[in-house]
């Protein structure tokens, strides 16, 4: 199956915390990658469905907040700890940090992502694994968008539901993107078991990401569609298909 240019890696940094480290080579300039990770109108093309910046004391994003939201969930504040345009962005929230480092090389740009601060306690294993799968999936979407949809407007449709079934039962039901979405798809990437990125010909080849994240005996299932071109006219199609999918797997 096609995959992002580099597969993510993960490693432990401290005895009492865990860290994810991911790296991907993107077909864009350093400035375009910076815009993708730091500008709200670009963030929604590959990541969250909502994004806005609250300026810091000096009126710039530095030391301000980046507010992010998924679907109907309340938005959450991420403190902007480092703001170096074109080079480095560091966000902090809940004792964790997310660092984006950007380095141009030839006609591509390497994006290095480090998400640190996860507890080493086994009770946080599900969160740790879900975050790795999530970042791997979002970076696959970013790579696809920069290759195929750069500069286009988007309608982001993200729908989430909690299913009262364990992940090992739900993941096989979402492995076939065509069946899950009820329409033909092309597989873009399978970053991890329970995570899938496809493009949908009927939606102007817009990318759609499917997530099945296990938490205890339950599963959090998410459909994130990044609708470009004529696909923007079919937001309700995605919402309806998500409702059908959630009903089928409950």
What pLDDT, on the 0 to 100 scale, is given for residue 16? Answer: 66
Residues 46-62, mean pLDDT to the nearest whole number = 97
φ, ψ of residue 5 in degrees (nearest 5): -55, -40
- Other C-beta atoms closer than 10 Å to the C-beta of 155 total 17
What pLDDT, on the 0 to 100 scale, is given for residue 5? Answer: 36
- Residue 65 domain-assigned? yes
Pairing of strands 206-215, 218-228: antiparallel
SS3 annotation, 14-46: ECCEEEEEEEEEECCCHHHHHHHHHCHHHHCCC
- Residue 169 domain-assigned? yes
- Residue 102 domain-assigned? yes
Share of the chain above pLDDT 70, in %: 93
What pLDDT, on the 0 to 100 scale, is given for residue 216? Answer: 84
Residues 74-98, mean pLDDT to the nearest whole number = 96
Digit-coded pLDDT (tens) for 157-172: 999 999 999 999 999 9
Domain count for the chain: 1
What pLDDT, on the 0 to 100 scale, is given for residue 189? Answer: 98
pLDDT band at 129 (very low <50, low <70, confident <90, very high): confident
- Residue 235 domain-assigned? yes
Q: CATH no. for residue 160?
A: 3.30.530.20
> Contact, 147 vs 33, CB < 8 A?
no
Number of Cα atoms under 13 Å in the Cβ half of residue 100: 22
> Contact, 209 vs 221, CB < 8 A?
no
Q: Give Cα 167 distance to the centre of its chain.
A: 19
Digit-coded pLDDT (tens) for 182-194: 999 999 999 999 9
Stronger pLDDT, 220 or 17, i.e. the higher one = 220
Q: Quick check: helix, strand or coil at residue 73? A: coil
Check whether 4 has a pLDDT greater than 60.
no
Check whether 120 has a pLDDT greater than 90.
no
Domain residues for 72?
9-249
What pLDDT, on the 0 to 100 scale, is given for residue 11? Answer: 43
- Residue 150 domain-assigned? yes
| Alpha helices, DSSP H, located in 92-234 | 125-148, 167-170, 177-181
Check whether 10 has a pLDDT greater than 70.
no
- Residue 40 domain-assigned? yes
- Residue 3 domain-assigned? no
- Residue 4 domain-assigned? no
Check whether 200 has a pLDDT greater than 60.
yes
The structure's pTM equals 0.91
Check whether 109 has a pLDDT greater than 90.
yes
* Beta bridge partners of residue 19, listed in sequence order: 11, 116
String of b and e for 11-36 (b: at least 16 CB within 10 Å)? eeeeeeebbbbbbbbbebbbebbbbb
What pLDDT, on the 0 to 100 scale, is given for residue 250? Answer: 87
Question: What's the token pair of residue 124?
Answer: 């946080």
């Amino acid at each position: 199956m096609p995959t992002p240019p580099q597969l993510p890696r993960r490693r432990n940094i401290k005895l009492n915390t865990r860290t994810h480290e991911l790296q991907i080579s993107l077909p864009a300039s350093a400035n375009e990658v910076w815009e993708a990770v730091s500008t709200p109108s670009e963030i929604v093309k590959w990541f969250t469905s909502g994004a806005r910046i609250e300026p810091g004391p000096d009126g710039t994003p530095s030391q301000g907040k980046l507010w992010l939201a998924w679907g109907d969930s309340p938005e959450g504040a991420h403190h902007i700890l480092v703001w170096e345009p074109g080079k480095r962005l560091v966000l902090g929230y809940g004792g964790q940090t997310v660092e984006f480092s950007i380095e141009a090389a030839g006609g591509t740009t390497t994006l290095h992502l480090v998400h640190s601060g996860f507890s080493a306690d086994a009770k946080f294993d599900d969160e740790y694994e879900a975050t790795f799968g999530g970042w791997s999936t979002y970076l696959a979407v970013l790579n696809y968008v920069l290759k195929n949809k750069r500069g286009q407007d988007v309608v982001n449709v993200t729908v989430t539901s909690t299913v009262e079934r364990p992940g090992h039962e739900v993941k096989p039901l979402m492995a076939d993107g065509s069946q899950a979405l009820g329409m033909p798809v092309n597989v873009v990437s399978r970053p991890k078991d329970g995570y899938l990125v496809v493009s949908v010909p009927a939606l102007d080849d817009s990318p759609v990401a499917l997530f099945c994240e296990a938490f205890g005996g339950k599963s959090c299932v998410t459909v994130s569609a990044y609708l470009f071109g004529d696909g923007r006219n079919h937001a309700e199609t995605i919402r309806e298909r998500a409702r059908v999918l959630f009903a089928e797997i409950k």
